Chains A and B, each alone.
Chain A
Amino acid sequence: MIKLRDICRNFQVGDETVHALDQVTLDIAAGDYISVMGPSGSGKSTLLNMLGLLDMPNSGSYLFENKELTKLSEEKRARFRREKIGFIFQSFHLVPRLTAAGNLELPLMLTGMLPAKRRVLVQEALASVGLEDRAHHLPKQLSGGQQQRVAIARAMIMKPPLLLADEPTGNLDTHSGDEIIKTLEVLNQTGITLIVVTHDLELGQRAGRTIQMVDGKVVHDES
């Protein structure tokens, strides 16, 4: 599904060049459940941003379903993200002034979908994470676990084949964190490719494949 070849991403910090990703080569199959681990600054978030087309490499090739993505225009990258990639963030990133339903509608709005159709999909998505009765709640009226479930429903509402999660349990207590991981794993079992960046060793070991990164390089890749 995904082929990364010799991906390099450099940042200039003062006079120094930081190699956030250094010749990274990876093959990811559809339906994989991968955890990316490593110390801070190892390049795992940069890798996730690269996979999510939020950032672009300085060199290398990124093939997604045999389509080269590094040459895409900004407009086409945005459309690709909208249709193929779902994001889950540590801090949920819900728009505070929008209700749970409003937050879920955002990706659908970007496609130009009509409101009536959006409402049906939003209800289904909320039901899939058990929050159908929280549709009109603002994020501040929801618990951390509930907020992350809304964020998962939002990430999945476009039914993307790839789900990227950056420390999805980082802001949650153990119980809520477990629930979130279980929800993500259920999604993975439906065939969605799941890539989770985490510091949590226990969480990382639940994945079918673990990638260890140090200084922008993949140092360990174990299935």
Chain B
Amino acid sequence: MRILDTLNFSQTTLRAYPARTALILLAMAIGVASVIILTSLGEGARNYVTGQFRSLGTHLLFILPGRSETTGGLPPLLGTSPRDLTIDDAIALKQSPAIRHVAPLLLGNAPVSHASREREVTVLGSSNEMQVIMTLEVIMGKFLPAENPRIGSPVCVLGDKLYHELFGNRNPIGEWVRIGSYRYRVIGVLGDKERAFGFDNSDAVIIPVASAQTMFNKTSLFRILVKASSADALDRAKEDVLRIIRQRHEGEDDVTVIRQDALIGTFDEILKILTWVVAGIAAISLIVAGILIMNVMLVSVSQRRAEIGLLKALGASTREVLQLFLSEALILSLAGGVIGLGIGFVGAQALQVWLPDFPVQVPLWSIIAALLVTLITGLAFGLIPARQAARLDPVIALAGK
């Protein structure tokens, strides 16, 4: 039997039972569409996060207190604990010619109030150079002054959302706000798209790092952000950071320095795995659809016993009957897959409209994988009923028993 005839015969069968066919197509289409939509979300998240990092430039270093070490064994007689990162550490890093900008960073939470309005937000303590390092846009006023980071002036820069919550559309420059129990003068407002590392700067307030240390009663820093003088100088900048900190910390290597590109790579890898995981979860629905195909086709085989017997009487071999039933499963799974792709693309487009800032993107591999899984599922689950049909005894089948 020619392949075209086999497919044609199968499609007449599928058209003869429209409700059954539609049900299977729907199940397959939902499975494929969910794979496409979920992977496009995962891919979007990956692009979004890596894009956020890349938007800062590619030659950043993040310095964290403490160091990854293997623990265990006998405890030391004299306890050693990593030294904190300090403002002086940050200032010392500027000795290196490979380092162009340094921004100390301290985080905390505090209520910010103005007049009768109050909002609990994240407080970032940093310096003037944070603006360059994190490419922050100031839409009103100016950023923190270029002063000695040890000096904590009572000034602040509001995130866009915080500004609107406290001031509505009024000009806040020169106004006083209360952060915790301290008063600060507003000198600037950040743009409305200011997000970095998934952190929403628009609902935050930035104050000088020394002020933040006073507010949170801390002498240490959360991070130091460093921008190398160029991408080529990144390795040298990292070596200098380690050397300078070692000198300042009495020969101890007690900081961890992470390169931005390594961080991007890690996030990229994690989110890729996450995308595969969600695709895998969505693919379970394809397996459910496959089971539905098997179920419906088993019923179909039992309803079409006389027809199978007739085909055998007319000279169809076991292999040809198997091919006929498998081609039905194949057509169903492929057609379901194509419909699912269509629904998936429409869903992804709808998501893009709904989340305009989120780069929803259907990855090519997910299209191929979804169609491949659909095909394999259809064939695998179609095989059992097809074999049952092919192995029917023609005498019993013709009797319709």
Contacts and interface: CB of A to CB of B under 8 A. Distances in A.
A89 to B, nearest CB: 7
Interface of A: 49, 52, 54-55, 74-75, 78-79, 81-83, 87, 89, 91, 93, 95-98, 102, 106-107, 109-112, 114-115, 154, 158
A110 B12 contact: no
Nearest to A154: B314
Interface stretch (B1-9, B279-287, B378-386): B1-9
A97 B320 CA distance: 19
Contacts of A89: 398
Ranked nearest first, the 8 interchain pairs of A and B with the lowest CB-CB distance are A82-B315, A97-B16, A78-B317, A93-B310, A54-B394, A109-B5, A81-B315, A107-B314
B316 interface: yes
A59 B44 CA distance: 70
A103 to B, nearest CB: 9
Contacts of B310: 93, 95
Contacts of A52: 313
B318 interface: yes
B369 interface: no
B319 interface: yes
Given A95-B307, A97-B12, A97-B16, A54 B395 contact: yes
A79 B315 contact: yes
Given A54-B394, A98-B12, A74 B317 contact: yes
Contacts of B314: 81-82, 87, 106-107, 110, 154
A125 B317 CA distance: 24
Interface string B1-40: 1100100010011011000000000000000000000000
B215 interface: no
B161 interface: no
Secondary structure dominating the interface of B = helix
B317 A83 contact: no
A197 to B, nearest CB: 13
Contacts of B313: 52, 54, 81, 87, 93
Contacts of B351: none
A81 B316 CA distance: 9
A112 B2 contact: yes
A21 B312 CA distance: 22
B323 to A, nearest CB: 11
B24 to A, nearest CB: 17
B311 interface: yes
B395 to A, nearest CB: 5
B306 interface: yes
Contacts of A96: 16
A112 B316 CA distance: 11
A96 B5 CA distance: 18
Contact of B312 (A78, A83, A95, A158): A78
Given A55-B394, A97-B15, A110-B1, 5 more contacts: A54-B312, A55-B395, A75-B317, A102-B12, A109-B1
Interface in B267-312: 306-307, 309-312
B315 A78 contact: yes
B315 A74 contact: no
Q: Which of B5, B13, B314, B317 has the most CB of A within 10 A?
A: B314
Contacts of A102: 12
29 contacts: A52-B313, A55-B394, A55-B395, A74-B318, A75-B318, A78-B312, A78-B315, A78-B316, A78-B320, A79-B317, A81-B312, A82-B314, A83-B315, A87-B314, A89-B398, A93-B306, A93-B307, A96-B16, A97-B12, A97-B16, A98-B12, A102-B12, A107-B314, A110-B1, A110-B311, A110-B314, A111-B315, A112-B1, A112-B2
B320 A110 contact: yes
Nearest to B320: A110
Contacts of B395: 49, 54-55
Interface in B361-396: 394-395
A109 B318 contact: no
Nearest to A79: B315
A169 to B, nearest CB: 18
A102 B11 CA distance: 13
